[in-house]
Every structure is written in structure tokens, then in C-alpha cells.
Amino acid sequence: MKLFINIIIGIILIVLGTALWLNKAYLFSLNQDATEQTTETKVDIHHEDKAAPKTESVEEKISDEPEVAKENTNAAADGLSRYYANLHGEMDGKGPKIRNNIVYLPDPEGDLAQILEERRLITRPLRRSWTGSTDNHPFRLGETLYQKLSEYTKNNDLELIWWLNRDFLVKGPFRINQNIITTSYQIGKAIEGHFENGLTVYFCYQQRAIVLIENDIPYLAKECLRLPKR
């Protein structure tokens, strides 16, 4: 009888052990599946986070850059057109022609001697020796020599008469730390090689004007000082 009871207890222990082992294996399988699923999910999310911004950035760059460049180019061209239209009329509505940093303007019109004489009659003259104060005159990329020199002469209560059919875009920034008379002369010397007959710069002190001209006229030699001053 005792032996029979021991056998029954042994069978029960074996069954319990087998059930425990099977349950442990099942739980391990579930845990492994969950781990793989979590890992896969993390990898997918990580991939999406990195890929999405990159694609969007490239698309924006492709679509935006040409539009911005075109807008900047048109703005610069429109600005020059308005500037020269104010000085020379509408220029057939097409604006100035620009090639190799040279701005081609209409030939100057009118009687320069008469223009200067009329100005002399209504303007308080300066001394022959007047030079103005030394100042910093920067010329920046994209500006024109006529534009900036005209601005600086006005700051000195002078009129710039650019009696030329060309202006020049600044290719590289530079500055001239001189008075307005010397600055005007240096600009004239820098561009005289672009004109077949050279270029002369005059300081018309009685008319409060600086004249840059290719083809000289007798009035300038008589009434104004040819630069550089002797």
C-alpha cells in the first residue's frame, strides 16, 4: 500500500514538472516575440524620423532657390532701370544695356556750355583752391560708379555732370579715402581706357560742378580747372 502511494505521488510530481517546463517555454516564446516586435517598431520609427526631414529639405531647396535668385536679379535690374530712367528719360522703356559690367547709356544731349553757364549765374561759387574735407568713399559690389560718385558729390553740395555714354558696375568693393576732388579724379583715371578719346575731369568751382567728359569743349578749359590741379 505504501509503495502504491509513492508511485502516485511520483506521477503527480512528474506531471507538475512537465507542465511547469511547458509553461516556461511558452512564456519565453511570448517574451521573445514581444522583444522582436518592439525592436522592429523602434527601427521603423527611427528610419522615418531621419528620412522625412531630409526629403522635405531637398524639395524646399530645389523649389525655393531658383525663385529667390530670379527675384534678386529682377530687383537689381529694375533698380538700375529706374535710376537711369530718372536721369535720361525712359530709354525706350527697355532700361540700360549691361555687358561685362559696362552699362551702356544714351549719348549725352544738350549744350553743355549753356548748361554750365546757366548754373554759374544761379550758384554761389567756390574758391579755386577748394577741395572739401577728406572722407571715406566706399564703392560696393553691384553699385555703379556714376551712382556712388553722384551721391558723394551731392554730399559736398556739388553737381556731378557725367557727360559720358557709359557707366560701370563695381566688380569688387573698394574705397577711396580722399576729398571729393581727388576721389572724382581717381575714378575718371580708372575708366579713361574705356573711351576712344580718353577722358577728362574738370572741377568747375564757379558752377559747383564736377564734369567727366570724353570730348573736351572750349568752355571747360576757359571756365573750369582741369584735374589734377597744377
Q: 29-33, 69-73, 77-81: lowest mean pLDDT where? A: 69-73
Helices 145-155 and 180-191 cross at an angle (nearest 10°) of 160
Map 39-98 to HEC letters.
HHHHHHHHHHHHHHHHHHHHHHHHHHHHHHHHHHHHHHHHHHHHHHHHHHCCHHHCCCEE
| Residues 35-77: tens digit of each pLDDT | 444 444 343 333 434 443 333 332 222 123 333 333 444 444 4
User: 3-state class of 182 per DSSP?
Assistant: helix
CB atoms within 10 A of CB 161: 21
Identity of residue 184: S
| Averaged pLDDT of the chain | 76
**215 close to 197: Cβ distance less than 8 angstroms:** yes
- Cβ-Cβ contacts under 8 Å for 50 (sequence gap 6 or more): none
